Amino acid sequence: MKKSNVALIATVLIAIHVLILLALMSTSSRRKESARPAPATVATQPAPAPLELEPIVDFQVPELNLTPPAQQIMAVEVVEMAPAQPRETIAVPGSRAGHLRADRPDRRTSKIYPNLVGDPYQSSIVVDARTGKILFEDRAAVYAYPASITKLMTMLIVLEQIDAGVISLKDKVKITAEVSKVGGSQAYLDPRETDFTVDDMLYALMVHSANDAARALALHVAGSKDAFVDMMNQKARELGMNSTIYHTDHGLPPSKEQPDISTAYDIAILSLASLRQPETLRYTSTELTYIRGGGFMLATRNALAKRVDGYMGCDGLKTGYHSRGGFSLTATAERNGKRVISVVLGCPDKTTRTAISRKLLDKGFERLEKE
């Protein structure tokens, strides 16, 4: 046998013996460890269970598949509306010479005149409503009793209270015993009637010249006649009506006191202020209307505002009469974009009042045409 083979065999045998020896030593070591006592266990708090969080799911907006509804075509009746009337330009008195002025000195008087009736009138004036220019005047600052022309101020106060939101045209107006006892021209208002509105009373006031309607409105606005008259006098001062004093809400003269007193000049100022209220002409231009569901007719006292034998373009304003003040009228008419105001106070009769007013309006338009 070769020497190389003998050496290889010897090496293999030595390796086998080494492996057997290592295996025996490992077995003996495991036996000793198993024979040792187990170490004492220490009581400890169990570890808290981990908090399980729900997974955050990403929010996705679902896609909406909206189908537009089918178009429905509805039949609509088209009603042709009358075009709105433009608001007129009406002058405001200032301090310009030759025009109505609001800066004149106070001329109010407490004197009681037995009557203020002239021939053919007590005083008159004609004014261009657009500019306030005085086109004609004759004793315009002479005192006169305007009688029911006072109602023009009553209406103005009511319309301003409506503008201020204090009252409404649709308000129901209470008819009290005091209202029903007012004499003179009236609508015979009765406390048992509960359906009258402010609008109804304004028509009765301006078309029919109803004294009881004036008192009903005064109580509705101010709570008492005296409080309302205070408002009227305050407004007169604000407007520059330097000769005017009101004692009533309707113009009917008190038995032993001074009647309402004014001048043609002051009434022209009041007429301008009334025309600056858009609703004024709706009432003053009405020739005929009804209240009580058609049961009571209201007819204008202004002959110039009537369709038959009236004055072309006349749409206001107010008549007045009592025995101590005679027949009076503040009138206005509009022609070709021009508006004229005429005031005549203290005529001896109704016919003279109407005839003079026509002439004054004619004079006003003639002078405007020449300018």
pLDDT exceeds cutoff 60 at 7:
yes
Least confident of 45-59, 143-157, 216-230: 45-59
Least confident of 8-17, 102-111, 274-283, 305-314: 8-17
| Residue of 281, 215, 271, 280 whose CA lies nearest to 248 | 215
Q: Give the model's confidence band at 30: pLDDT under 50 very low, under 70 low, under 90 confident, else very high.
A: low
pLDDT exceeds cutoff 70 at 156:
yes
- CA 183, chain centre distance (Å): 33
Q: Which residues participate in the annotated binding site for substrate?
A: 318
Q: pTM to 2 decimals?
A: 0.77
The predicted structure's pLDDT at residue 256: 85
- DSSP per position, 220-271: HHHSSHHHHHHHHHHHHHHHT-TT-B---SS-PPPSSSPPPBB-HHHHHHHH
User: Taking residues 172-198, what's their average pLDDT?
Assistant: 97
Domains of the chain (ranges plus CATH)? 123-370 (3.40.710.10)
Which contacts of 276-281 are long-range, i.e. CB under 8 A and separated by 24 or more positions? 276/90, 276/92, 277/156, 277/159, 277/160, 277/163, 278/87, 279/159, 279/162, 280/155, 280/156, 280/159, 280/316, 280/317, 281/315, 281/316
Mean pLDDT of the chain: 87
Provide CB contacts within 8 A for 349, sequence distance 6+. Answer: 327
Report the catalytic residues: 148, 151, 209
User: Taking residues 117-138, what's their average pLDDT?
Assistant: 98
Percent of the chain exceeding pLDDT 70 equals 78
Least confident of 36-50, 272-286, 306-320: 36-50
Provide CB contacts within 8 A for 16, sequence distance 6+. Answer: none
- Extract the tokens encoding 288: 């005929």
Q: Which residues participate in the annotated binding site?
A: 318
